[in-house]
Homo-oligomer: A and B are copies of this chain.
Amino acid sequence: VTAPKEKARPTLRIGDLAEQSGVPIATIKYYIREGLLPPPPMKTGRTMAYYDEDYLEQLRVVRRLREEHFLPVRVIKTILEERGAAPLDAHARALVLSAGPGFLARVQAERAPAPPAADPNLTPDERTLLEDLGLLGGDADEDAELLGAMAAMEQAGLGRDRFPLEGLGHYVELLGELARRELRHFAQHAEGLDSATVETLAARAFALTAPLVAIIHKKLVLRTLRAELARKETP
């Protein structure tokens, strides 16, 4: 959960937040207790606190994810945390700053041309959800790739009636955590290499861990299913 920026002086009371967002005061307090929202940026007494416009915007995102898309608190929390998480120590950070831009440029240059834009017929609400999840609205090629995969699912009879988009919240939560750990892990073990070598290795790792993730994911789906079936025999 990112702390609100400090530009605007906080002038909103919790009652104003409730009125402008349509979220009851008790629910706002619950969100703060559960860590979905940070504590008030400005407290002037035991029961007096002021909030700013950024806070209101965050509250609206939480509300959408929770009340329109019914995502569980835990999932929303992780998604929000990801927006502003600080996963790296100083050494890893230095490595990322020196080799990161070159790596990104290289990945973008090496990437296959974007597939023709497929259309999974998203409603405006669904598009907003994907943007809130951070899956749409950034790089055009990456957007096209995701929309293509979703259109393929729809064509195979796996439409959003059977597979609602909220399910993607789980992917963002768990694969996002995996991505952070990979970055940390890579940085730890690349210590002592020069920046050009790091760039090359990172680009190769990026290409080669994709199949590894796919293989392990498939394997674990099958393993989970087998475990569930085996349970039958040992009641």
Interface residues of A (CB under 8 A from B): 33-35, 72-74, 77, 82-88, 93, 96-97, 100-101, 103-104, 107, 134-135, 138-139, 142, 145-146, 149-150, 152-153, 156-158, 162-164, 167-168, 170-172, 174-183, 185-186, 189-190, 201, 204-206, 208-229, 231-232
Q: How far is the CB of A105 from chain B (nearest CB, A)?
A: 12
- Residue of B whose beta carbon sits closest to that of A234: B5
Q: Which of B162, B217, B223, B229 contacts A201 (CB 8 A)?
A: B162
- Residue of B whose beta carbon sits closest to that of A193: B162
A213 and B175 in contact (CB under 8 A), knowing A87-B224, A189-B164? yes
Query: Are A134 and B223 interface neighbours, CB within 8 A?
Result: yes
| A139-B205 Cα distance, complex, nearest whole Å | 26
Q: How far is the CB of A71 from chain B (nearest CB, A)?
A: 11
A178 and B189 in contact (CB under 8 A), knowing A149-B211, A183-B221? no
28 contacts between A and B (CB under 8 A): A35-B72, A85-B227, A96-B228, A134-B223, A142-B222, A146-B219, A149-B215, A152-B208, A163-B185, A163-B186, A167-B182, A168-B216, A170-B178, A170-B181, A170-B185, A171-B178, A171-B212, A172-B216, A174-B174, A174-B177, A175-B217, A175-B220, A176-B224, A178-B220, A179-B220, A183-B225, A183-B228, A213-B214
| A172-B219 Cα distance, complex, nearest whole Å | 10
Interface centre among A170, A172, A178, A229 (most CB of B within 10 A): A178
